[in-house]
Homo-oligomer: A and B are copies of this chain.
Amino acid sequence: MRYKLTIEYDGTNLLGWQRQTDGMSVQQYLEEILDKLNGTHTEIVSAGRTDAGVHALAQVVHIDLNRPMELWKIKEAFNGNLLAQEAPVSVLEVEAVDDSFSARFSAKKRGYIYRILNRRAPSPLLKNRVWWVPYPLDIEKMREGASFLIGHHDFTSFRASACQAKSPIKTLDKIEIEQQGEEIIFQVEARSFLHHQVRNMVGTLKLVGEGRIPPIKIKEILDAKNRKAAGPTAPAGGLYLSKVEY
């Protein structure tokens, strides 16, 4: 019996999605509960292997249960257990799915949000929730720079050295940049991303926003196919896995 779970988490004190030996991950929290339900160990697969510090508004995983369970009971079993452990993880939704469904391989589109707080004073209430940038950023210039990233490209310049993807070629469907109050919000969508791709794109576009490099430089960085050509990786705390489409 296969089920699709939609998950929220605060990544601040987590080592990310993937199980690690030196601290708690979302995968370990969920697998320990699933193991209790099944009486045996199974690995849980997610749509996105988010890094330490990265949040999720709607991560998706699938689980297999030995015996059918009502959807609300699955949700309560997970959330009751997660709350008791004070885990920064919550199950938002449970749906029954076909055995052929894979949270990872069936995903047609992944969406991320990146939040920059662009004001002089830091925000204690948004600590670990945004990237605090205390000098003004030019949104129009960032949009112009971002436009070169849309489409089918070799994203080597925006790929972490640890990235395990077979190919650096990806299709970026959307990168929208909006001002919302004191925040600058990036909305990014693709079928899939390279490791650190969103954070490396945001970190480089921020240089454009500061006026340190012109928008056209983004095209040159892309063409260079060299990680060293691009800017730094934006901090994890501003990134949210916001949707997965199937």
Main secondary structure of the interface of A (DSSP, over half): mixed
The answer, among B90, B120, B124, B125, for a CB contact under 8 Å with A122, is B90
* A92 lies within 8 A of chain B by Cβ: yes
Whole-angstrom CA separation of A9 from B122 in the bound complex: 10
Also in contact, A127 and B75, with CB within 8 A (given A8-B121, A83-B122, A121-B8): no
State whether B88 touches A8 (Cβ < 8 A).
Answer: no
Whole-angstrom CA separation of A190 from B124 in the bound complex: 26
The answer, among B90, B91, B124, for a CB contact under 8 Å with A88, is B124
State whether A122 touches B57 (Cβ < 8 A).
Answer: no
State whether B10 touches A127 (Cβ < 8 A).
Answer: yes
Whole-angstrom CA separation of A125 from B113 in the bound complex: 14
The answer, among B9, B93, B123, for a CB contact under 8 Å with A124, is B9
State whether A121 touches B79 (Cβ < 8 A).
Answer: yes
State whether A92 touches B121 (Cβ < 8 A).
Answer: yes
* Number of A residues with CB within 8 Å of any CB on chain B: 24
State whether A10 touches B121 (Cβ < 8 A).
Answer: no
Whole-angstrom CA separation of A32 from B57 in the bound complex: 39
The answer, among B90, B93, B121, B129, for a CB contact under 8 Å with A123, is B90
State whether B8 touches A57 (Cβ < 8 A).
Answer: no
Closest to A10 in B: B124
**Which residues of B are found within 8 Å of A92, using beta-carbon distances?**
121
Whole-angstrom CA separation of A9 from B123 in the bound complex: 8
Closest to A76 in B: B120
Whole-angstrom CA separation of A124 from B88 in the bound complex: 5
**Which residues of B are found within 8 Å of A87, using beta-carbon distances?**
124
**Which residues of B are found within 8 Å of A57, using beta-carbon distances?**
125
Within the complex, the shortest CB–CB distance from A240 to chain B, in Å, comes to 8
Whole-angstrom CA separation of A196 from B82 in the bound complex: 31
* A89 lies within 8 A of chain B by Cβ: yes
* A55 lies within 8 A of chain B by Cβ: yes
A-B contact pairs, 11 of them (CB 8 A): A8-B123, A8-B124, A9-B124, A9-B125, A10-B124, A10-B125, A82-B122, A87-B124, A88-B127, A90-B123, A93-B121
